[in-house]
A and B are shown apart, each in its own frame.
Chain A
Amino acid sequence: MSTPVLEIRNLKTYFASDRGEVRAVDGVSLHVDAGETLGVVGESGSGKSVTSLSVMRLIASPPGRYADGEILFEGRDILKLDKAAMRDLRGNRLSMIFQEPMTSLNPVFTVGAQIAEAIMLHQHLPRPAAFARAIDMLRLVNIPAPERRAHEFPHQLSGGMRQRVMIAMALSCNPKLLIADEPTTALDVTIQAQILDLMRRLRAELGMAIMLITHDLGIVAEMCDRVVVMYGGRIVEEADVISLFDNPLHPYSEGLLASIPRIDEDVEQLYAIEGSVPDPADRSEGCAFAPRCRYAFERCRSETPVLSPIADGRKAACFLAGERLTRPAVEQVLS
């Protein structure tokens, strides 16, 4: 096994609020190996985005703070880096694509200038050379007529084009790790497919690792090698993609998979997990998913299950995970 590009150990990111401290990320540990794509899935409010922003150290403080843990990027704990060293990493060896392509580009600068800025900052190229490289990057992400497009402003580009620009910007300095936070959520399905294709191609060409934050399990199936499932600021399951889709060990993962509409089945009503994500300010005893879990029993409400190895490469935070590993196929259980 290769050394991980990113290793998060027991990360706790808390936010101060009127109702006390909100534990948005509460003891998350994960790793992303070189060249690998890790999917991070969960509902809104599960702590996925806060985890990714924590890795970039883009959590505003106050109200946020890193209460505990380590984030090792290429072996260095970035939570201990000073601001200048952190700026050297961002957009360089560590970069991120954000959720909202429509608002994530500065409206008053040309897209070429915005890509060139990162290149000038990190590779210390003069402006003309950086701009030429920005045009190359636009070509790399399949933008037609890149020489002309580089001189255009964000409002002159469509949503899909803007997300390509964001990708071009993120990749302009050959990152070792790309964090993509819901990169296709705001786009329509055909554009989604194009962007995912593009990311797959570039991953192969540039050999970077990707941490893909999404709530869309279809994207996970297409893109990822391994998955971590987050719920209530914690990881509830970790597995390779095939095992997870084959036999989800945590009831929450099972519910997420069951919620995917299937083209080969005609159903009256789509499946949905009852209830909603727990209030992150409320921390009572027991498994956070217990109130919504169809399998929950006494122990789940009084004791919090910890994420522990169940099988080779598989971890789950559920008391039933062991017996679920050897049960019959999911469809039978659910029907």
Chain B
Amino acid sequence: MASALINVPATAKHGDIVEIKTLMSHIMETGFRHTETGAVVPRNIITDFSCRYNGVEVFRAELFPAFSANPFLAFFTVATESGTLEFRWAGDNGFS
């Protein structure tokens, strides 16, 4: 049950710099922790994030075990045309 919160200004003037804020629900289990019996808790993290603006990639990030749970990513882009933003999170255990 993955849920995400995305904050994008609904409207912007041509050429405006807009901030895009994303919050994705994920446990981000590091893979470095052990249970009480000594067994390793397997790594389960998001490894890649990308944002496409009308099909063109405008932001990409690689994520690593040191990221907190429910990673919050904010970045800027220039509003060039009306269109759709497509976000993709991909990670361990086929998370997508």
- Tell whether A pairs with B: no
